[in-house]
């Protein structure tokens, strides 16, 4: 009781007492979202708020638009808390996340392991790599924006657009960098590129493949046309909107990547 009173004194604008997965969560209202965290992240909330605000600004600038709906951000203190949330959301009670999984975003919310815990709770992610940390959070915020404007808010009712969903988040967040593009170029030279869009979001090069395809669409058709693809849930709808075929798109992408 004394601890709760102390937190109330420290957080006059916060709501305390929401209980999820046997943990007490603190809720703060921010511009465009509600931030939920546990007492263990009391000292990190401002830092995380800045990461989220910067990510949202990047998304808004990229799309020349804002988020149409408020959403929730849950900062999970440990992996087991994140797993519990995903088990409930996905109706998969036995689900256990891979070590590289630290966050996910859909129209209504963004879940993430507390970034300062990534070094102990995850692999492939280092909190101290500030640019990559920001880009990862921005990546998930792109998913939130995309979900809010897509006919399938959680992307569960989409067909053949995994490459676009993930490629858009990779490209818009800045993760489709020179290193990933160089890896794709090498794979092209070695003739180790998937032959269909459905295969782009597979394998070790999936971020580079999918991100560079969205980059190509952006450069060839323009940002307005790219943004106009966000509501579609089927690959056929995207191709029809671009007035092209999958084969033509792949051919154009290959020439673009080799010269970028």
| pLDDT higher than threshold 80 for residue 7 | no
| pLDDT higher than threshold 70 for residue 251 | yes
More confident of the two residues 230 and 11? 230
DSSP string, 22-37: TEEEEEEEETTEEEEE
More confident of the two residues 17 and 136? 136
The CA distance from 60 to 135, in Å, is 14
Residue closest to 169 by CA, chosen among 109, 209, 214, 220: 214
**Residue 39: how many CB atoms within 10 A of its CB?**
16
More confident of the two residues 19 and 168? 168
Write down the pLDDT at residue 1. Answer: 36
- Contact (CB, 8 A) for 217 and 226: yes
Mean pLDDT of the chain: 93
CA atoms within 13 A on the CB side of 132: 9
Confidence band, pLDDT 50/70/90 cuts, at residue 21: low
Q: Mean of the pLDDT values across residues 64-70?
A: 97
Write down the pLDDT at residue 163. Answer: 98
The CA distance from 203 to 37, in Å, is 34
Tens of pLDDT, residues 22-39: 579 999 999 999 999 999
Q: Mean of the pLDDT values across residues 184-200?
A: 96
CA dihedral 232→237→135→257, nearest 10 degrees, is: -170
Tens of pLDDT, residues 202-220: 999 999 999 999 999 999 9
Write down the pLDDT at residue 15. Answer: 60
Write down the pLDDT at residue 3. Answer: 39
Write down the pLDDT at residue 94. Answer: 95
More confident of the two residues 15 and 144? 144
Write down the pLDDT at residue 23. Answer: 72
Percent of the chain exceeding pLDDT 90 equals 91
Tens of pLDDT, residues 39-57: 999 999 999 999 999 999 9
Confidence band, pLDDT 50/70/90 cuts, at residue 18: low
Tens of pLDDT, residues 76-94: 999 999 999 999 999 999 9
Confidence band, pLDDT 50/70/90 cuts, at residue 2: very low
Look up the pTM and report it. 0.92
Confidence band, pLDDT 50/70/90 cuts, at residue 20: low
CATH number belonging to domain 2-149: 3.40.30
33-37/109-113 β-pairing: unpaired
| pLDDT higher than threshold 90 for residue 19 | no
> Domain coordinates of the chain in residue numbers?
2-149, 162-259
Strand 33-37's sheet: what is its strand order?
Answer: 15-20, 23-30, 33-37, 71-76, 109-113, 103-105
């Amino acid at each position: 009781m004394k601890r709760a009173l102390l937190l109330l004194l420290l957080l006059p604008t916060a709501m305390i007492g929401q209980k999820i997965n046997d943990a007490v969560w603190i809720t703060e209202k921010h511009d465009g979202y509600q931030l939920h965290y546990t007492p263990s992240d009391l000292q990190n909330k401002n830092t995380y708020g800045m990461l989220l605000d910067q990510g949202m600004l990047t998304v808004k600038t990229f799309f020349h638009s804002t988020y149409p709906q408020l959403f929730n951000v849950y900062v999970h203190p440990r992996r087991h808390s994140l797993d519990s949330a995903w088990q409930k959301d996905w109706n998969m009670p036995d689900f256990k996340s891979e070590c590289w999984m630290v966050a996910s975003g859909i129209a209504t919310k963004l879940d993430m392991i507390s970034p300062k815990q990534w070094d102990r709770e995850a692999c492939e992610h280092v909190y101290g790599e500030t640019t990559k940390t920001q880009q990862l959070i921005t990546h998930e915020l792109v998913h939130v924006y995309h979900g809010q404007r897509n006919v399938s808010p959680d992307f569960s009712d989409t067909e053949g657009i995994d490459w676009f969903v993930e490629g858009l988040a990779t490209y818009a967040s800045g993760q489709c960098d020179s290193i990933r593009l160089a890896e794709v170029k090498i794979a092209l030279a070695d003739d180790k590129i998937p032959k269909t869009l459905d295969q782009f979001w597979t394998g070790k090069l999936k971020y580079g493949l999918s991100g560079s395809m969205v980059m190509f669409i952006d450069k060839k058709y323009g940002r307005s046309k790219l943004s106009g693809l966000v509501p579609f849930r089927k690959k056929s709808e995207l191709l029809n909107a671009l007035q092209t075929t999958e084969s033509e798109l792949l051919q154009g992408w290959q020439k673009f990547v080799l010269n970028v």
